[in-house]
Amino acid sequence: MSEERKLPAHIAIVMDGNGRWAENRNRPRTLGHQAGLKALRRIVEHCGRRDIPELTIFAFSSENWNRPTNEVNRLMDLFMKALDKEARELQENGVKLNFIGDLSAFSAEMQQSIARAMQQTCENQRMQLNVAVNYGGRWDIAQAARSLAESCERGELKPAEINETALAGRLMLNGHRDPDLFIRTGGEMRISNFLLWQSAYTEFHFSPILWPDFSPEALDAALEDYLSRERRFGRTGKQVRRQAS
């Protein structure tokens, strides 16, 4: 099997460090978010070059509402201005755009822009980009559990029929492969409530690089780290090597 075929089919990224990047330059934190958007473009393009079929990014967590109001407002403004432009570029490059999270917290105008962007790119098949906004891993599991409880209440499902597969079927990334590789930039070593269920057997790579400076070369280094791992999924190394031979 070639190295390229061993590359992750799904990468998840916590894009951390935009604010600190700007503060290190004595600039407003919002400038860091603008630089972070440019970094995202580079990484999406490089994932396409490396034939990575799916990328999920943590753009705005449910906890990010606790940031200073001015920063949140500027973030929403940047998001709105970038959405249509980015959707056009993704469409031109064959990338399907998908948003996950509790979108009801956003304005009607933003929800319409999100729906328009997803519709515009829905036929693309080269690559999928999942954008997590107002998302939290605990929220995701809770809303899935609530959905199962409602099905039981309607008589569509029996409690005894609830298992891991049933719950996974109600999560935001239902039908998607779990991430093979989880990258967090910015030097922090935690997952910050991102894809808790889906990351049970994911390989983790923590980079000290602040997100605006995260380059295709840094992604390649993360991929090399991933390729050096032996993924056992509960089996012994001997079993894995015997199956691969």
HEC per residue, the chain: CCHHHHCCCEEEEECCCHHHHHHCCCCCHHHHHHHHHHHHHHHHHHHHHCCCCEEEEEEEEHHHHHCCHHHHHHHHHHHHHHHHHHHHHHHHCCEEEEEECCHHHCCHHHHHHHHHHHHHHCCCCCEEEEEEEEECHHHHHHHHHHHHHHHHHCCCCCHHHCCHHHHHCCCCCCCCCCCCEEEECCCCCCCCCCCCCCCCCCEEEECCCCHHHCCHHHHHHHHHHHHCCCCCCCCCHHHHHHHHC
pLDDT at 3: 45
pLDDT at 1: 38
pLDDT at 79: 81
Catalytic residue, chosen from 18, 24, 64, 93, is 64
Does 213 qualify as catalytic in the annotation? Answer: no
pLDDT at 73: 77
pLDDT at 72: 80
Low-confidence ranges of the chain (pLDDT < 70): 1-5, 235, 237-245
The architecture in CATH of the region 3-231 reads: 3-Layer(aba) Sandwich (3.40)
Are 132 and 59 in contact by the 8 Å Cβ rule? The answer is yes
- pLDDT tens column, 132-179: 999 999 999 999 999 999 999 999 999 999 999 999 999 999 999 999
Catalytic residue, chosen from 16, 18, 130, 180, is 16
Does 16 qualify as catalytic in the annotation? Answer: yes
